[in-house]
Structure formats: C-alpha cells, structure tokens
Structure 1
Amino acid sequence: MARNSRRPPIINAPPWVTALALVLLAAHGGRVLLSAGLQDALLWNVALIPERFWGWLGASLPPGAAEPYSNAFSAIAPVFTIAFVHSDWVHVGLNAAMLLGVGKPVYEYLERTRGRGRNRSGELFLFLFFMSVAGGSLAHLAANYPIGQPAIGASGGVSGLIAIVLMAQQGAAPRLASRPFIAGSVVFLVANLILAFIGPSMLGAGIAWQAHVGGYVAGALAFRFLVWRREGVAA
C-alpha cells in the first residue's frame, strides 16, 4: 500500500496571515542590515514619537523636545508604520508568532461568514489588523501627551486580533456586552498591567501597555462594525 508522502505545511496558517507575519520579519531583517545612521533615520520617520506628533498639532513642548512632524502625511503615517519596526528579533519574533496564532481563527471566521460575493477575507483581515494598530497608536499618543517614550512594534494589531478571537467565539452574532467577552477583556487588561509593572526589570524594556489596550479596543470595535454591516446587508 502506497504511503502518503504529503507533509503538513511548516506554517499552518492562511496565506494572508502568513504573508503579514513574514513581512514583519523581513522588515526587521532589512532594518538591522542598515548602518546605524540609516537605522536612526528610519526610526525617526516610521516610529511613533509622541512629542513630534503633538508638536505638529501645536502643543507646547519643553525645551530640547524633538522637532515636530512637518506635514500631515509624516505625522499620520507612523500611526500605521509603527507595526513594521521592532526593537530586536525577540520582539518581532514574538509578535509574528502571536499574529500567526490569533490571525488564523480570525481569518477563518471571516471566510465562514463572508456571505455571497467574491472572497474579501484577506482585505478584511488587513483592515482589522491595521485599525487595531491605529487604535494602539492613538492610545499611546493620548497616554503620552505632550511628550513621552517612542513606541514601535505590531503589538497593537496583535492585541486587536486577540479581542476579535474572543468575540468570534460567540458565533455569527458576537456582542461587545457579552459576559465571556467582558471577562476575557478584564483578564487581558490585568495581564497588561502586570506586564507594565514587571516589564522593565524582567525584560529590560518598558511595555507600551496603553497601545495594547488601545489596539484591543479598536479591534473589537472594528470587528463589531463589520458584523453590523453584514447584519444590515442581510436584513
């Protein structure tokens, strides 16, 4: 009897999810190959730097603060590009691994509930991810007015996907006010507060926990919006 020679894929995730995780890894790999000067220049333009953002909006900054962004594009772009820069391989590796883990059930839920018409699951997945990234960035900016530590990483986007996984477990009609989602949200918040407390001593770096919470909330709201649109079309 012939033996099945097919092997399971190394990464068991949908192509859109896998591609995004690989882009995060490739972006970090490309950055570390740059000279120190070019890395600094890159971070200056793509990392989220609160004082540059608030200075662009006209906030009064203390002496010695970083130069404000010069235009709307350079101020708004880091709200999203923050996802493509990480501090080290551990940072990007952890985010990529979590993205694969929580991105798969989110993408599969979108495929199951997309309804008729062409498959837009990949586009919707990216929409949810980047809305979560933006929510995390805005929360970090709000918590660091008018000056604070720069933020980098895709953790806001991953946090949003975690919220969506919890909501998707409710089935075809997820609700923000459900008991399981509220309970999961409390656990998520407490875990991030603990990380914020022990992060500097345990990991050697601060944890932008506000960005995690902001991404979580934004992901849940964006997902509920998509469900609301689907329910409206079905009606």
Structure 2
Amino acid sequence: MAHNHNVSPFNSMPPAIVALALVIVGVELAFSLGARGLLGGPGAVGWRLDALQRFAFSNEIWHWMLASGQFPAKHLLRFFSYPFVHASFSHALFAAVMLLALGKMVGEALGTLRTLAILAVSCFGGALAYGFVSTPIPLIGAFPPVYGLIGGFTYLLWLRLGQMGAQQARAFSLIGILLGIQLLFGLLFGGSLDWVADLGGFASGFVLTMVLVPGGWARLRERLRQRR
C-alpha cells in the first residue's frame, strides 16, 4: 500500500489530547512570559506561585481534610488541577510531548473517551498515592496521568504479546526503564517523592485499561472466578 508522506501526524491524534497538551504548554508559557515581565504587568511575576498555592495537590491539606472530615470542592479540585502547573517550561514541554505520543497510541487502540477516562482516573490515583507519603512538597506536573497512559499502553502490549505467544513480561520494560532512571537521578542528585505519584498513575491506568478494552470486564470476572 502506498503511504502518503504529506499526511500530518496530527490527523490521527485525538483532538482532546492535543487540546490538553496545548493547555499545559499555554499555561506554562504564560507563567514564563509573566515572570520575565513580558505579559500581565508587574503582578504576573507571582502567577506561578499563586497557581501552586491554589491548584497543586498538597499532602498537608489532604491530611487536614481526612482529619476534619471536611472536603471543600476547591481542595478536591486539586486532585485534577495539579497536572496543569509545572516547575519550568522544559518540565511542561516534556510532559506535553509524552502526552501527545502516548495519547496517540492509546487513543488509536481504545478511542478518545476511554483515553480521557484513563487520564482522569490516573490523575486521581497518582495524587491519592502521593497523599500516603509524608512530605511538605506539593505535587505538580502532568506526569502521573502520563504514566497512566503508560499503564494503559503496557496492558495493551501485554495482551498483544500474549496473542503472539511471546514473553509478556517484556511489556513492562518501558515502566521499568523510566522508574530506573528516576531512581538513578534521585540517588545522584536528590529528588522528591514524585515517583510515588507516577507509580500510582501507572497502576491506575493499567487496571482501568483491563476493564476498558473490549471484553475486558468479562475477562476480568472470569479470572476472579477461577481464583476462588
């Protein structure tokens, strides 16, 4: 079959994924320009700090909600708003590129709505996992939901390798390499506990994809029935 090399790679990209990536980069671009005095006037210098205080996921606030039994909507929003705040432009750009690449692969296999569901659930799951560690550093950045897409991709690859009769453990090579790199950088340069949120996002995406793939729910019930 002839391949049209003039076709844009964005043609098969889910528009919703492109929109999310543009929002991530756009927000960070506004912060960067504001910090340099090129946008928004003198008050724009504090845009990033204000966003961190209002939208980052905070363990201290989460633990306060659990202790007090109060769950204000503005704080529950933090479970889904933290991916739109980043530490720097390079941080946001790298997250957006990974979101586009993985969103395209998972979106082609599962469709846009299922892909968005994976992003939302892994976003929540990543923050929830981070909430169990004791750290004053707030959680920001889109990597937990991106890792959720990695979890979805891993399960899809695991299924495909099984159909081919290949070793299914190979499907976990990508997550193993990424977590290994994070651990190495943490040991060499020090770092936060963001990897806990990334792992929580990965697990959430992996488990949800088990249900979302065609026939996945029936397959899961059959496995649970066999283990009884």
Q: CA deviation at 1:8?
A: 3.2
1:9-44 Cα shifts (integer Å, max 9, x gaps): 264633232222112111222333362334322211
TM-score under structure 1 length normalisation: 0.73
State the distance in 2 between where 1:49 and 1:174 align: 40
Instruction: Assess, with a 3 A threshold, how the Cα gap between structure 1 residues 101 and 50 changes in structure 2: closer, same or farther.
Output: same
The letter for the 2-side match of 1:9 is S
What is the SS of the residue equivalent to 1:224? helix
Instruction: Assess, with a 3 A threshold, how the Cα gap between structure 1 residues 222 and 207 changes in structure 2: closer, same or farther.
Output: same
Q: Is the 8 A contact 1:128 1:223 kept in 2?
A: yes
1:207-229 Cα shifts (integer Å, max 9, x gaps): 61001100000001111122377
1:130-177 Cα shifts (integer Å, max 9, x gaps): 111111111111122xx43111001011101111112112458989xx
Q: Match for residue 188 of structure 1?
A: 175
Aligned pairs, number: 204
The letter for the 2-side match of 1:48 is F
What is the SS of the residue equivalent to 2:140? coil
What is the SS of the residue equivalent to 1:210? helix
How high is the sequence identity, in percent, across the aligned residues? 25
Q: How does 1:140-159 map to 2 (within 5 A)?
A: 140-144=130-134, 147-159=135-147
Instruction: Assess, with a 3 A threshold, how the Cα gap between structure 1 residues 140 and 163 changes in structure 2: closer, same or farther.
Output: same
Q: Match for residue 83 of structure 1?
A: 83
Instruction: Assess, with a 3 A threshold, how the Cα gap between structure 1 residues 201 and 164 changes in structure 2: closer, same or farther.
Output: same
Q: Is the 8 A contact 2:158 2:171 kept in 1?
A: no
Q: Is the 8 A contact 1:168 1:174 kept in 2?
A: no
State the distance in 2 between where 1:173 and 1:97 align: 26
Bigger fraction of residues in helix: 2
Instruction: Assess, with a 3 A threshold, how the Cα gap between structure 1 residues 216 and 200 changes in structure 2: closer, same or farther.
Output: same
Q: Match for residue 134 of structure 1?
A: 124
Instruction: Assess, with a 3 A threshold, how the Cα gap between structure 1 residues 192 and 52 changes in structure 2: closer, same or farther.
Output: same
State the distance in 2 between where 1:6 and 1:174 align: 32
TM-score under structure 2 length normalisation: 0.75
State the distance in 1 between where 2:65 and 2:142 align: 24
Of 196, 200, 205, which residue of structure 2 is paired with 1:214?
Answer: 200
Q: Is the 8 A contact 2:150 2:175 kept in 1?
A: no
